[in-house]
Chain A
Amino acid sequence: MSNPLADMEKPDVIFCIGTNMTEAHPVAATRLKKALARGAKMIVADPRRIRLAEMADLYLPIRVGSDTALLLGMAHVIVREGLADSEFIAARTEGYEELVDHLQEKTPEWAESITGVPAAMIEEAAILYGSSGKAAIYYTLGITEHICGVENVQSLCNLALLTGNFGREGTGVNPMRGQNNIQGAGDSGALPNNYAGFQPVDDAANQAKFEKAYGRKVDLEKGITKVTALDQCGDRIFAMLIDGENTVVSDPDQEHCIHALKSLEHLVVIDIFLTETAELADVVLPAASWAETDGNFVNTERRIQRVRKAVEPPGEARPDWWIIGRIAQRMGMSGMDYDSPVPIFNELCELSPIYQGIDWDLAEGGQYQWPIPYRGHPGTPRLHEDGFINGRGKFSFTDYRDPAETIDEDYPLWLTTGRRLESYHTRTQTGRSEGINDLLPEETLEVHPSDAARFGLHDGGWARMSSRRGAVDVRVETTRRSPQGTVFASFSFADVPINVLTGSGYDPITHTAELKVCPVHVEPIAERTRLTAD
């Protein structure tokens, strides 16, 4: 997030797109509710009439995968109506004139033809966002899990740059991170393109810096992403170490994923349960859970917070850092023999410019949001206050592209996937929590009543849903939360493995899978016969 969570209570206008915040980030949503109670206006763009849409002043029911068209149409209106912040644009951006040319054809009528949202509503949204003193954008995976995820984000940045909504209280472009420490995973250098602290691996100075620290020269070339690595299993990749990820259930195109992992010569999985992924491993190593380990998580607002051990791990389970270090030692690696997480975190801080101002002891109170560039620096709750890191904010000349697969006669419905309030990811944890299982015992396919009638489905009955990659059986729930022509299911239940169906394409830059769009066919069945991908 460019801005702190506390800022969620401050905007005059809130623009939520591709975020089911009341379910996926419920506590963050409570802060938006405080802003609404204070009188802030909210625009929500989402294919589904989610709870957030019900709370909105203006709800834009966009077709899945059409976000860029909507955002270009809004930018067109902002320019046309003279709502662009010329002072901010002159002082802090570049490419404005080219953007104005680029937007000429991106009329709200053009956007309507792609998104299905009436041009008048697109104009209303643009004017509301563009004429506000403090407008903030919030988004989640509904923006990024597309083949055009990068263009979607760039199109959002265009809106904020056009209207000067950066670097002030209650503004910004704010992605809500989905996992407790997904931010920290990137910060720590678990990326193919960056060392710790987002230092590019293809910069020779960084290579030299880490050679000195690690005693080994690392390739100057970027590594490959996990998506590419899975594609290359059995071909170029022959061994994997997977820590705490149920790849088989969470990743797209399940059959491909299982085949990939099975074609490895050596798979080591570290986890707290024998997940569907761990079942494929040659070696499974038992990890300490979240309540059994000391360390640091980094949240969606870049806040570094201490996690503390409250109970002993069961049996012989050990903390992840210990397990990885001990494998390394057995392989003869040096500099991996840590006896506590403290020196590990301190080494991360020493090597990362964004963590330079802290160490384990200073992080104790959880008051620091990175960047913390030097000792004594208070941290940076709000980014871009005095300027952008790389000079001027660059406008992007994005364009609309169709999703990787579009609906046709054989696959006439859009499937979009996501999370539900009561379950988390692949349910390795929440599926083993009794009360939670009572609240949400099984997966359902959310279908608009008219689509149910069209395809002969009944509320509470079974449907077989197929895509170009596979089929799953799932119970039907008729609801107007789903728009006509689009169905929804979560990816949480291993017995309804929705990711058997997904995997039509990937963003070419981030390699993020287009999990939010998948053309499907549905038909009624008497009872469920397909239980797993096999």
Chain B
Amino acid sequence: MNATTSDTKTTRTICGYCGVGCSLDLVTRDNRIIAVHPAFDGPANQGALCVKGQFAYDYVHHPDRLTHPLVRDEAGQLRRASWDEALQRAALGFKNVEQKHGRHAVYGVASGRTPSEANYMMQKFIRVGFGTNYIDNCSRA
């Protein structure tokens, strides 16, 4: 979508809060969400939404959103970094720990909030990267 147009666009998606999985339509304009419409043909919700699903979407555009990678500097502070530097630091750190402490020293925690594709990548990262089953998601707490 062209960010300069003022046309509204509607995107069918699934609520990001609890596990009921309500269908909803995100109404967007100029790359911002301006409304949420409940989907009357949503199999889980049949047109219903709760206060969170209906109204709690403005966090998406909150100024606190992380917009660039951060790495910890020598003084112990998080500072802005490029993707190139941050990915290199992330990868090197895992490599170093594996070399020093063995492949069972690295652990992955997947999210109950991200799409399945991210969960699948997390478990594949641990299993292919280290040959271990040192992976879990956040369902136990």
Contact = CB atoms under 8 A, between A and B. Distances in A.
B138 A245 contact: yes
Interface residues of A, number: 142
B12 A308 contact: yes
A415 B90 CA distance: 40
A115 interface: no
A295 B83 contact: no
Given A182-B137, A237-B107, A513-B141, A282 B72 contact: yes
Interface string A300-313: 11011111111110
Chain B interface, >50% SS class: mixed
Nearest to A266: B93
A62 interface: no
Given A244-B113, A311-B60, A265 B97 contact: yes
A27 interface: yes
Given A185-B116, A190-B123, A433-B57, A219 B132 contact: yes
Contacts of A243: 108-111, 114, 118, 122
Interface residues of B, number: 100
Contacts of B110: 185, 188, 190, 243
Contact of B14 (A179, A240, A306, A320): A306
A198 interface: no
Chain A CB within 10 Å, residue with most, of B117, B119, B137:
B117
20 contacts: A189-B124, A190-B135, A191-B137, A195-B127, A214-B128, A223-B132, A224-B134, A238-B105, A239-B107, A240-B107, A244-B118, A284-B71, A290-B113, A316-B83, A320-B121, A324-B125, A325-B121, A328-B121, A328-B129, A330-B88
B120 A251 contact: no
A111 to B, nearest CB: 28
Contacts, number: 456
Contacts of B113: 179-181, 244-245, 290
Contact of B65 (A317, A367, A430): A317
B5 interface: no
Contact of B67 (A278, A286, A429): A286
Contacts of B26: 291, 310-311
Interface of A: 5-6, 24-28, 30, 176-193, 195-196, 201, 210, 214-219, 221-227, 229, 236-245, 247, 250-252, 265-266, 268, 271-274, 278-279, 281-287, 289-301, 303-312, 314-321, 324-328, 330-331, 333-336, 338, 341, 344-345, 347-348, 366-367, 421-422, 424, 428-436, 439, 510-513, 515
Contacts of A312: 3, 31
